[in-house]
Structure 1
Amino acid sequence: MRDLPPLSTIRVFEAAARLQNLSRAADELNMTQSAVSYQIKQIEAFVGAPLFVREARGVRLNQRGEQLAPMVQAALASLSRAFRSVSDKAHSVLAISTMQTIAGNWLAPRIGRFQLQHPEFAVRLDISPRLADFAADGIDIAIRSGPGDWPGLERHLLFDQTFTAVASPDYLAREGRPETPQAMLSHILIAPSDDWWNIWFRAAGVATPITFTRPGIDVETQQMAASVAVAGHGIALITPRFEADCFASGRLVKLFDITASAGDGYYLAYPREHRTSRKIRLFRDWVLAEAQVGA
């Protein structure tokens, strides 16, 4: 089509527009930075005007580029969906994006039951802290935490994101059990910089912002926080539903009958245009039923 630049050039423009950096676009596309720069010049020549403003630390879209970028992204996403919709792999593989904690502590122990019920599907779990780009990443459905206000997505609340303070019996035997939430400030807290602590202490009636008297242990995920707590190294905030086995076995103990929330939840989400897909409908119904177990 003479009124379109080459698809390879369009892909380079989309990556550069999204990343605002030619070097990062080159890494993503497995190209050299000079090749990316050349392709950008080609598409600007096709348009007949610049699309980017070159800056010391990268590039940014100018007004014309900002007008073009979302239409290009939507067109590429539409192409991706079109080809995936007719491929055998698209129908036989269910790609699920989620985070480490919910994958390891909640979904992984259950997903085998879904495959037993629906052996026609292979399941691929994509574990990542970032929100999925459904078209670019080849993701069918996602389980994420947040407020649930993601434009263009169907979403279903699985359960609320609540958290409570826990520790191991070994830690409590060594350090003593805090008699009040206020007394916890003199203990070793896991992930002390996490906003959850201020929220939990406010729910417990402790004035915030809080000040710790001992160094804490920083971790990246709730799953890691629970593991550090089980090992006896401090007090953690965890979602009780994710550590049911630890409570049942006595490896973790709830310190107080205080559960807090930031107002977020764990949601199932997928593009609205995929809501009629059979594999998405089957997984949606199954996972919503699983979320009610032990609720």
Structure 2
Amino acid sequence: MAALDQAKILELPEGLPIRPLPPLTAVRAFEAAARLQSFTRAAEELSMTPAAISYQIKQLEARLGLTLFRRLPRKVILTAAGEQLAPSVAEAFKLLQGAFSTVAERADGELAITALPTIASSWLVPRLGQFQKRQSDLHIRLDTSVPLVDLNLGAFDVSIRSGSGSWPTMDAHFLLPDSYTPLISPALAASTGGIRTPRDLQGRRLLGRASVWKDWFDQVGAAAVAPSTQAGMDFGIEHYDVTAAIAGEGIAMASPLLFAEEIKRGQLVQPFPQTVQPTDGYWLAYPSANARAAKIRAFTRWLLTEARTALEAYPRPAIASAIPAG
């Protein structure tokens, strides 16, 4: 919308009634005839006949109750009313052309992605440069808003979200499981002799959503020894919970898949293989109407390959199987 932002838009004086606009075809015919000072040349530009141009302008004049052109034998000349109207109409069409050009440029040259913060920062961003190298003509724009974005509004091309994968008017492809398990820094785990059973979590600060912690203790058969989460902390974004865990501030309930690199580097340890899945996983989604767009097809192929590679490198762990409470 840069053209609209930069252009000076005239506002109607306060109290002036807003009348219904005339048909766009008639206005377009007037603009071309006024600019070219010829019905014939306007007809050639708009792929119409001179008679059709004349008819459209007569319709416009009848609607306004004004004569816009003086018809001379070999040319047309704007009347005073036509001269008053022509500059504003020309400016309006320039604004429209600028707006449509901006939209077309974004549609062709930009891939706009909206994704949840944690999967964006921990998994997508470290890989996204590889895709941009393959599609060097594309500008990549990433949004990490938590609220769900309506892709049908056109501001974004694709979305990476968690949920069921069933959304009206959307095509969705499964990417990764939304799995959670306790993650802790090695130093904190060793400070009290290690974490071997759920009972060892008692007295520790728990980071993350209390509801997911409860589900994990319930599903591994350790509800009786579950510590209170009231003294814990929930930063609202999983990535922040893990950052605190790496700093030794507590034990995060987080995805071992999204933080596989931190586990591999020894910044975190996963004491238990068991995980819980509060949703059906992470999905790539986009409007079904845009499924054939070249940039969306290319991104989908690349992202699904990346997801398969990540799953193969980190096999899906056991889910909801009981472990001794200790």
Range class of TM-score, shorter chain: 0.5 to 0.7
Q: CA deviation at 1:92?
A: 0.2
**Structure 2 unaligned residues grouped into runs of 5+:** 1-18, 23-98, 312-326
- Which residue of the partner structure matches residue 31 of structure 1? none
1:96 aligns with 2:139: no
Q: CA deviation at 1:124?
A: 0.2
CA contact (8 A) 1:166 1:237 kept: yes
Instruction: Provide the rounded CA distance (Å) in 2 between the counterparts of 1:104 and 1:213.
Output: 26
Instruction: Provide the rounded CA distance (Å) in 1 between the counterparts of 2:224 and 2:142.
Output: 39
TM-score calculated relative to the size of structure 2: 0.62
- Which residue of the partner structure matches residue 244 of structure 1? 260
Structure 2 residue identity aligned to 1:236: A
1:227 aligns with 2:243: yes
1:262 to 262, 270, 278: 278
The 5-angstrom pairing of residues 73-84 of structure 1 reads 83=100
CA contact (8 A) 1:85 1:91 kept: no
Instruction: Provide the rounded CA distance (Å) in 2 between the counterparts of 1:261 and 1:196.
Output: 9
CA contact (8 A) 2:201 2:227 kept: no
1:180 aligns with 2:215: no
- Which residue of the partner structure matches residue 119 of structure 1? 136
Instruction: Provide the rounded CA distance (Å) in 1 between the counterparts of 2:193 and 2:134.
Output: 48
- Which residue of the partner structure matches residue 148 of structure 1? 165
1:196 to 194, 212, 219: 212
1:253 to 249, 269, 283: 269
Instruction: Provide the rounded CA distance (Å) in 1 between the counterparts of 2:215 and 2:263.
Output: 23
Identity of aligned residues (%): 37
Aligned length: 219
Distance 1:114 1:146, change over 3 A: same
Structural RMSD (CA): 2.7
Larger strand proportion of the pair = 1
Poorly superposed stretches of 4+, deviation over 3 Å: 2-5, 82-86, 208-211
**Structure 1 unaligned residues grouped into runs of 5+:** 6-81
Instruction: Provide the rounded CA distance (Å) in 2 between the counterparts of 1:223 and 1:152.
Output: 30
Distance 1:194 1:84, change over 3 A: farther
Q: CA deviation at 1:86?
A: 6.3
Instruction: Provide the rounded CA distance (Å) in 2 between the counterparts of 1:84 and 1:292.
Output: 38
- Which residue of the partner structure matches residue 273 of structure 1? 289
CA contact (8 A) 2:172 2:286 kept: yes
What secondary structure sits across from 1:101 in the alignment? helix
Q: CA deviation at 1:219?
A: 1.0
CA contact (8 A) 1:167 1:229 kept: yes
CA contact (8 A) 1:188 1:214 kept: no
What secondary structure sits across from 1:150 in the alignment? coil
1:108 aligns with 2:137: no
CA contact (8 A) 2:113 2:142 kept: yes
Q: CA deviation at 1:185?
A: 3.2
Structure 2 residue identity aligned to 1:230: I
The 5-angstrom pairing of residues 1-80 of structure 1 reads none
What secondary structure sits across from 1:225 in the alignment? helix
Distance 1:281 1:213, change over 3 A: closer
What secondary structure sits across from 2:235 in the alignment? coil
Larger Rg over CA atoms: 2
TM-score calculated relative to the size of structure 1: 0.68
Structure 2 residue identity aligned to 1:100: P
Distance 1:213 1:94, change over 3 A: closer
CA contact (8 A) 2:182 2:253 kept: yes
Distance 1:93 1:132, change over 3 A: same
CA contact (8 A) 1:165 1:255 kept: yes
